[in-house]
Amino acid sequence: MNWTPSLVPVSGTAFVIASLVKMLVFFGGYLVTVAMLTLAERKISAWIQDRHGPNRTGPGGLLQPAADGLKNLMKEELQPAAGHRVLFTLAPAIAFCTALVSWAVIPFAAPLPTPWGVVPMALAELPVGFLFTLAISSLGVYGLTLAGWASNNKYSLLGGLRSSAQMISYEIAMGMSIVPVLLLTGNVALDSVIRQQASGGWNVLNLTVAFFVFVNAAFAETNRLPFDLPEAESELVAGYHTEYSSMRFSMFFIAEYANMLTASGLMATLFLGGWDIPFTRWDDTGDPTLLKTIATLGSFLLKTGAFLFFYMWIRWTLPRFRYDQLMSLGWKVLLPLMLGYIVLVAAVLLALQAAGIGAGWTRTGILLVMNAVVLGVMFFVVDRGRLLSPTTVRLKRIDVERLRGRALERSPLAAGARGELMGD
């Protein structure tokens, strides 16, 4: 983009003021959005289950999050007598703060022109880009682990240990799923990733397998179903937050929804073009304008909202994995898959570069065919429903029918029928 002299980036005092304004506006809107996500989840779950959700507190139930927050503020703060007081109090704050800070480098709109210069629509334009988000979000596991240990409760401790094992396992897969994006873009700055997709096709087409792995790892990182083993109410009461009450308890849920929002924004940025508006180059060429900023903000919000809806849809549709299935997916499937995929993408990009094929729809088409082949081999040749169920064995149809026949013979109904026949 060629900037005119009047559209240079802001600096000095204007930069500080712009940063403060962005922080206040963004974090205020971020917290309100997180609060409303709790209402959205309850409404979506009611819609999926064909029932009424919250509808009596305010018009359409819009004030339900405020009522829940007021209720939690008025509840008593409980403290385990044998727990570690300092770490018990610090744990929810760690989980909450890391979830908020993780968003800082994600650009949510095109740059905004002002009389003092161009203001980038990201809280902090760091050259390390998505590496910062991964690094900060990975610190959230300390909050969950400390909550489990400091509670001095066996269920909480098991939940904390599960959380640390799960996050470490899937953090590797998530980090490796971003390596193909780095190979394709040649830069870790998120603004460069967005502009690469605007000119060369979205990465959901270029790197479909990496997108698939990133989505699965994002579910595990945010402890959402079917990966909510750290909480597992049927096994661990409530997991790492069993001993928490009042606002400390609420901070864990706020952190969960904040992590969902950050993960959705990162998925939209890395694989769906971020704020880029599809089928047009108007938004990412020429000088920045206020209209471009508003339009691209709307595009980014739609993409992020679609991922948030997907989170909630899966939450109320699929059952929880067993713990062995969860670990099997992370270590036996996603990790080796991404190791091979990174080598394949690097080889294909090197071959395309040697053939003189650069960024564009030709390269996108070739990469799309490559991804379709990899997914076909993975689902229909290698997996065939076995990798996620290591404790089960695939039986032939004749064996299944024989077992069903034996089960029917031994059932009480069959025994009763035989008795009636003998009595007759």
When pLDDT is cut at 50, 70 and 90, the band that residue 2 belongs to is very low
Angle of the 208-221 helix axis to the 361-377 helix axis, nearest 10: 60
Neighbour count for residue 86 (Cβ, 10 Å): 10
- Angle subtended at Cα 291 by Cα 286 and Cα 294, rounded to the nearest 5 degrees: 115
Q: What average pLDDT does range 184-188 have in this prediction?
A: 85
**Is pLDDT at 390 greater than 50 in this prediction?**
no
Q: What average pLDDT does range 340-354 have in this prediction?
A: 91
Q: What average pLDDT does range 95-107 have in this prediction?
A: 85
The per-residue pLDDT for 53 is 84
Enter the pTM of the model: 0.82
pLDDT digits (tens, 9 = 90+) for 227-261: 877 666 665 666 777 778 788 888 888 888 888 89
* Half-sphere exposure of residue 279: CA atoms within 13 angstroms, side-chain side: 0
CB 84 within 8 A of CB 149: yes
CB 162 within 8 A of CB 253: no
| Nearest of 138, 203, 140 to residue 175 by alpha carbon | 138
CB 28 within 8 A of CB 40: no
The per-residue pLDDT for 306 is 93
Distances (CA, A) of 373 to 209, 292, 376, 386: 10, 38, 5, 20
- For CA atoms 167, 169, 171, 177, give the dihedral sign: negative
The per-residue pLDDT for 391 is 46
Q: What average pLDDT does range 346-374 have in this prediction?
A: 87
d(CA 150, CA 103) in angstroms, rounded, equals: 28
When mean pLDDT is compared across 42-46, 103-107, 151-155, 195-199, the lowest value belongs to 151-155
Q: What average pLDDT does range 39-62 have in this prediction?
A: 87
Q: What are phi and psi of 413, to 5 degrees?
A: -65, -40
Amino acid (1-letter code) at residue 292: K
Q: What average pLDDT does range 166-191 have in this prediction?
A: 87
Top mean pLDDT of 202-216, 308-322, 380-394 is at 202-216
Share of the chain above pLDDT 70, in %: 89
